[in-house]
Amino acid sequence: MKLAEDIQEWLDFCDQLVYEIRDFKATDYKKGVADGIEMAMNMLKEYLKDYPDFFPPKK
């Protein structure tokens, strides 16, 4: 499914972005942005658990 692939690509991108923001001289503002991105990712992952046929969990 194309949408599922796009969602996974976005989640992978956000994982990398959060890592880079936190690990390279992050200011409090940038850490807050990273926390917000991570919260959005976690909310999406929790929501998608209700649709295992559409978006199977990573192994």
Tell me the pLDDT tens digit for each residue of 1-54. 688 889 889 999 999 999 999 888 878 998 899 999 999 999 998 998 888 776
pLDDT at 52: 78
Looking at residue 38, the DSSP 8-state letter turns out to be H
Q: What is the pTM of this model?
A: 0.75
Distances (CA, A) of 20 to 1, 7, 37: 29, 20, 12
From the number of C-beta atoms within 10 Å of its C-beta (0-12, 13-18, 19+), residue 17 rates as middle
pLDDT at 49: 86
